[in-house]
Amino acid sequence: MMLIAANLRLPITIIPPLLSTIEKNLGIPKSMAGLITSIPLITFAIFSPIIVKIAKKLGNELTIFIFFILLIIGSYLRIIPTTWALMIGTFLAGIGIDSGNVLVPAIIKDHLPNEIPLGTSLYTMSMLLIGAIGTALSGIFITKISLQTTLAILSSVAIIALIFWIPSLKYNQRDDDKTSKPQHYQSVWTQSLGWLITAFFGFQSLVYYSFITWLPSVLETHGTSTIVASNLLTVLQLSGLPCSFIVPFLSVKKNGLKALLSMLFIGYAVAPLGFLITTNSLVFLTIVTVITGFGSGLAFNMAVIFFTEKTTNPYQTAEVSGMAQSAGYLLAAIGPVMFGFIENLVDSWNSIIIILAIMSVLLTISGILIARHKPIAE
């Protein structure tokens, strides 16, 4: 499960340090470069509900196995130095990633029903840690070796995950098992809490993937080098790692969610405004990046906790996960492309940072409403 989780952000987070090289090698504008991040988000939006239905027939473990083959094919298709191969490969990789996004929370609910905080911590920690390491290695490799070799090396992690996932197939759960839809089931699509969780997931995804895509460019306007900007992007991701343990621990405590939401507001709505200050102080930029990264870790881990703690059975967990990631990623997919277009238009990142701060305020409000709501009805 941890190896599968390790690949759920890696194919996306290795791209930002490579964007300038991709733009130069393929001769594409910033808005199209932003599309490389948006394409997986679009596939998440389209395929999340479909994956839930496929998993209902084939089983969660087998579905992940099949879709990870697509992830590997797509990752290595991106090595071909043409725009069409890059885009199609990213599309296939996005489909593969989505299987893990949707089904791993349901697998945690199913196989670790009494250890959900631990399972969630291991899942999110693997995703965030390997994603961050991938960003760092990507920034280092591109200064030493070619774009194609960089992509080939970093994509090999998916092959390792697929090999180690094979023994899990013996635990595959099918439609007639306990993961199937309960009798008299009420769809999460008809319940207000399902839509609130979707809004929360959508806002956190929009803000996160916009920062992941464009933070190096924002930092470069402060006078930082490409390497320093890439390293700070790694810092952003690593800063969210403690949240893999903090969020599950506090979420079950009295007033724990209130404390988490307060920290979320400071980390994700207030801290990013520091990027508006014109300075090349590495200490200041690092502090702002760390606090923002901590906010991103809080947001993502809270979304996963809502999937598991606000549902009552594995099928419902998979469905609310699929719903949130479908509509939520559709919202998130707009960010990287739209903000790249706006920057080209106004030649400034300041307005984009303000928009992201506003989105984080809406994220916090949706989290408050979810915290006050009872679990989704069966």
Q: How many domains does the chain have?
A: 1
CA-based nearest residue to 143, from 59, 219, 229: 229
CA dihedral 196, 173, 67, 242 (to 10 degrees): 50
pLDDT digits (tens, 9 = 90+) for 192-248: 888 999 999 999 989 988 888 888 888 888 888 878 887 898 899 889 889 988 998
Q: Residue 179: its pLDDT value, please?
A: 46
> Is residue 377 in a domain?
no
pLDDT digits (tens, 9 = 90+) for 277-301: 988 899 999 999 999 999 999 998 9
For residues 350-366, give the mean pLDDT.
Answer: 94
Q: Residue 183: its pLDDT value, please?
A: 56
Would you call 114 exposed, middle or buried from its count of C-beta atoms within 10 A (0-12, 13-18, 19+)? exposed
Q: Is the pLDDT of residue 344 over 70?
A: yes
> Is residue 258 in a domain?
yes
> Is residue 321 in a domain?
yes
Token output for 260: 């988490």
Q: Is the pLDDT of residue 313 over 80?
A: no
Q: Taking the CA atoms of the chain, what radius of gyration do you get in angstroms?
A: 19
Q: Residue 269: its pLDDT value, please?
A: 94
Q: Residue 178: its pLDDT value, please?
A: 46
CA-based nearest residue to 219, from 231, 208, 205: 231
CA-based nearest residue to 343, from 216, 256, 165: 216
Query: How distant, in Å, are the alpha carbons of 3, 73, 115, 174, 177 from that of 165?
Result: 8, 17, 21, 17, 20
What's 284-308 look like in SS3?
HHHHHHHHHHHHHHHHHHHHHHHHH
> Is residue 378 in a domain?
no
* Average predicted confidence (pLDDT) for the chain: 87
The parent domain of residue 139 ranges over 2-175+186-372
> Is residue 359 in a domain?
yes
Give yes or no for a contact between 352 and 343, defined as CB atoms under 8 angstroms apart: yes
Query: Residue 108's pLDDT band (boundaries 50, 70, 90)?
Result: confident
Residue 16's domain is classified under what CATH number? 1.20.1250.20
Share of the chain above pLDDT 70, in %: 96
CA 133 to chain centroid, in Å, comes to: 15
For residues 135-139, give the mean pLDDT.
Answer: 86
For residues 162-171, give the mean pLDDT.
Answer: 92
pLDDT digits (tens, 9 = 90+) for 47-65: 888 998 899 899 999 999 9
Q: What's the rounded Cα separation, in Å, for the pair 66 and 47?
A: 14
